[in-house]
C-alpha cells in the first residue's frame, strides 16, 4: 500500500539530501559535545572508580580529585595515629599535574604517585612492563598516549618530568584525564619531583572486612584533626563530576554546544516542514476535501519528521564515532558515547523535531479545504 509520508518526503531528492546533511551536521555537533563531556566526566573520576578505597581524605575545602589537595607529612601522621589499624588500612596517593619537557615544547601530564605494593590503586590496562619496577627511584609507567607528544618513546627511554629525568619502565592504556596522560610512579619519586616532603595529595582509606567500620566512625575518629575533609568514594566521585559539570566551565561549554546543535535541528525542521506545507497547500486542501482526518495529516507530518530525524541521527552517530575515534587517536581528547546516551539524545532530537513542526501543523489546520474549488 502506498506510503505518502515517505513518497512525499523523497519526491524532491536534492532537497531531501540537503536537509538530511544539515540535520546530520547538527546532530554530529550534539553527539560530539555529549560524547566529549561524557568522556571527560568518566576520565575525571577514573582514578576514583579504579581504586578500591572506601573513603578519601583530602585537604580541607579540596573535596574533589581535581582540586590541588595537599596534606603535609605531619598531618598524615596525625591521621594514621588517630585510626586503629584493626579497623582500617590507609595509603597515600599523590595526584598532581605536571609537564613533560620534549625539547622546544611542553605538554601537560598527571602524575600518580602510589605505594607500589598498593592494595587500593594500581595502573589499569597495563600493556607492557612490570609495576613493581616502579620501586626503582625515578621510574615511571606511562600511558600510551604519551607517544603522541613523544613519538617513538619506548621502555628504558628517559623523559623529563618537571625538570627531572625519569626512566620509562612500561606502558598502560586509557590511563589519562582529558589531554593529560598519567605517569605512574612510586610515592617517593612523586614526592621528590613535586617537593612534597613526606606529604601527599590524598589519603585513601579501606575498611577492614569484618570490622564493621564505616564513614561515620571514620569521621568521629578524625573529629579532632583539623584541615582535612573526609568523603566516601561515592561522594568524592560525585563532587568531581559536579566540579567538571558546573564549575570548570566544561559542562556549560558543552551544554551550549549541545543546545546550539539542537537549535539548528529545530530551525532546519521548522523551515523544511513549513515551506513544505506552504508549497503543498493545494495538496493538503485536496486531502482534507476528500476526507483525510486531522490525525491522518498529523501522522504524515510527524512521520516525515521522524524519518528525517532518524536517518540523520543514524548518520550523525556513525560520523561521531568515526570522527571521534580519529580525534581521540591524535589528540587524546576523550569522546565516549554509550547506548544510553545515544537513546536519550535520539528521544530528545525527536521531541525537538516534533516541537519544530507544531507551527507547520497549525498551518495545515488552517488550510480550508474549500481552496480546492478555487482554481
Partner 1 sequence: MINLNKNIVMEIKDISKIYGLKGVKVNALKNINLSLHNGEVVIIMGPSGAGKTTLLSIMGLLLHPTEGTIKFGDTIFDKDSKQSELTKIRRNSIGFIFQTFNLIKSLNVLENLELMAKISKGNNNGYRDRCISMLELLNMGQRLKHKPKHLSGGEMQRVSIARALINEPQVILADEPTGNLDSENGHIIGEYFKKIARERGTTILCATHDKRLEFCADRIIHIEDGSLMN
Q: Which one among 106, 124, 246, 296 touches partner 1, defined by CB under 8 A?
A: 296
Interface with partner 1 by CB under 8 A: which range of 120-128, 156-164, 178-186, 279-287? 279-287
The three cell numbers locating residue 296: 491522518
Interface with partner 1 by CB under 8 A: which range of 53-61, 182-190, 259-267, 283-291? 283-291
Residue 194, SS3 per DSSP: coil
CA distance to 21, 141, 330, 332, per residue, from 101 (Å): 43, 17, 19, 18
Q: Is 14 in the site for partner 1 (CB under 8 A)?
A: no
Please give the Cα distance from 93 to 90 (Å, whole number). 10
Minimum CB separation from partner 1 for residue 287, in Å?
7
What residues have CB less than 8 Å from 166, skipping those under 6 apart?
138, 139, 140, 158, 159, 160, 183, 185, 189, 193
* Closest CB to partner 1 among residues 2, 330: 2
Q: Which one among 210, 291, 339, 366 touches partner 1, defined by CB under 8 A?
A: 291
* Closest CB to partner 1 among residues 2, 339: 2
Q: Which one among 107, 286, 310, 328 touches partner 1, defined by CB under 8 A?
A: 286
Which residues are registered as beta bridge partners of 206? 89
CA distance to 42, 91, 266, per residue, from 238 (Å): 11, 21, 33
The three cell numbers locating residue 10: 523523497
Q: Is 275 in the site for partner 1 (CB under 8 A)?
A: no
Please give the Cα distance from 45 to 366 (Å, whole number). 54
Binders of partner 1 in range 315-374 (CB under 8 A): 369-370, 372-374
Convert residues 185-214 into a mask of x (bound to partner 1 by CB under 8 A) and - (unbound).
------------------------------
Tell me the HSE value of 82 on the side-chain side, using a 13 A CA sphere: 17
Interface with partner 1 by CB under 8 A: which range of 79-87, 152-160, 194-202, 290-298? 290-298
* Closest CB to partner 1 among residues 340, 373: 373
* Closest CB to partner 1 among residues 221, 283: 283
* Closest CB to partner 1 among residues 290, 339: 290
Please give the Cα distance from 110 to 100 (Å, whole number). 10
Interface with partner 1 by CB under 8 A: which range of 4-12, 97-105, 171-179, 250-258? 4-12
Number of residues binding to partner 1, judged by CB under 8 A:
24
Please give the Cα distance from 176 to 145 (Å, whole number). 8
Q: Which one among 223, 293, 331, 338 touches partner 1, defined by CB under 8 A?
A: 293
Question: Which single residue is written with the C-alpha cell 589519603?
Answer: 203
Q: Is 281 in the site for partner 1 (CB under 8 A)?
A: no
Q: Which one among 159, 190, 287, 364 touches partner 1, defined by CB under 8 A?
A: 287
* Closest CB to partner 1 among residues 11, 132: 11
Rg (CA), the chain: 29
Q: Is 290 in the site for partner 1 (CB under 8 A)?
A: yes
For 36, phi and psi rounded to 5 degrees?
A: -70, -45
Q: Determine the length of the chain.
A: 375
The three cell numbers locating residue 348: 530528545
Interface with partner 1 by CB under 8 A: which range of 6-14, 36-44, 183-191, 227-235? 6-14
* Closest CB to partner 1 among residues 216, 375: 375
3-state secondary structure 92-142: EEEEEEEEEEECCEEEEEEEEEECCCCCCCCCCCEEEECHHHHHCCCEEEE
* Closest CB to partner 1 among residues 73, 369: 369
Residues of the shown chain interacting with partner 1 in the complex, contacts defined by CB under 8 A? 1-2, 4, 7-8, 11, 282-283, 285-293, 296, 369-370, 372-375
Amino acid at each position: 500500500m502506498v506510503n505518502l509520508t515517505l513518497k512525499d518526503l523523497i519526491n524532491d531528492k536534492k532537497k531531501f539530501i540537503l536537509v538530511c546533511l544539515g540535520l546530520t551536521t547538527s546532530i554530529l555537533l550534539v553527539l560530539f559535545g555529549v560524547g566529549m563531556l561524557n568522556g571527560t566526566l568518566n576520565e575525571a573520576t577514573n582514578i576514583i572508580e579504579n581504586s578500591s578505597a572506601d573513603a578519601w581524605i583530602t585537604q580541607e575545602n579540596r573535596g574533589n580529585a581535581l582540586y590541588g589537595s595537599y596534606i603535609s607529612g605531619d598531618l598524615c601522621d596525625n591521621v594514621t595515629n588517630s585510626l586503629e589499624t584493626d579497623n582500617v588500612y590507609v595509603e597515600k596517593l599523590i595526584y598532581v599535574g605536571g609537564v613533560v619537557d620534549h625539547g622546544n615544547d611542553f605538554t601537560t601530564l598527571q602524575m600518580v604517585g602510589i605505594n607500589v605494593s598498593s592494595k587500593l590503586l594500581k595502573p589499569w590496562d597495563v600493556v607492557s612492563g612490570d609495576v613493581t619496577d616502579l620501586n626503582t627511584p625515578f621510574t615511571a609507567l606511562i600511558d600510551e598516549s604519551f607517544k603522541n607528544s613523544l613519538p617513538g618513546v619506548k621502555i628504558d627511554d628517559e623523559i623529563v618530568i618537571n625538570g627531572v629525568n625519569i626512566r620509562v619502565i612500561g606502558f598502560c592504556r586509557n590511563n589519562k584525564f582529558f589531554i593529560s596522560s598519567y605517569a605512574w610512579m612510586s610515592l617517593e619519586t612523586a614526592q621528590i619531583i613535586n617537593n612534597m616532603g613526606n606529604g601527599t595529595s590524598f589519603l585513601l582509606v579501606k575498611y577492614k572486612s569484618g570490622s564493621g567500620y564505616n564513614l561515620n566512625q571514620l569521621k568521629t575518629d578524625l573529629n579532632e584533626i583539623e584541615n582535612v575533609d573526609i568523603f566516601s568514594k561515592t561522594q568524592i566521585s560525585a563532587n568531581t563530576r559536579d566540579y567538571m559539570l558546573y564549575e570548570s566551565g566544561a559542562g556549560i561549554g558543552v551544554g551550549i554546544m549541545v543546545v546550539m546543535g539542537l537549535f539548528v535541528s529545530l530551525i532546519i525542521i521548522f523551515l523544511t516542514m513549513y515551506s513544505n506545507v506552504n508549497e503543498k497547500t493545494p495538496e493538503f486542501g485536496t486531502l482534507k476535501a476528500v476526507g483525510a482526518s486531522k490525525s491522518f495529516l498529523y501522522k504524515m507530518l510527524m512521520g516525515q519528521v521522524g524519518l528525517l530525524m532518524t536517518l540523520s541521527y543514524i548518520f550523525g552517530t556513525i560520523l561521531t564515532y568515526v570522527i571521534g575515534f580519529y580525534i581521540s587517536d591524535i589528540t587524546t581528547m576523550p569522546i565516549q558515547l554509550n547506548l544510553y546516551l545515544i537513546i536519550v539524545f535520539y528521544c530528545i532530537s525527536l521531541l525537538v523535531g516534533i516541537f519544530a513542526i507544531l507551527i507547520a501543523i497549525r498551518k495545515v489546520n488552517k488550510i480550508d479545504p474549500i481552496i480546492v474549488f478555487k482554481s
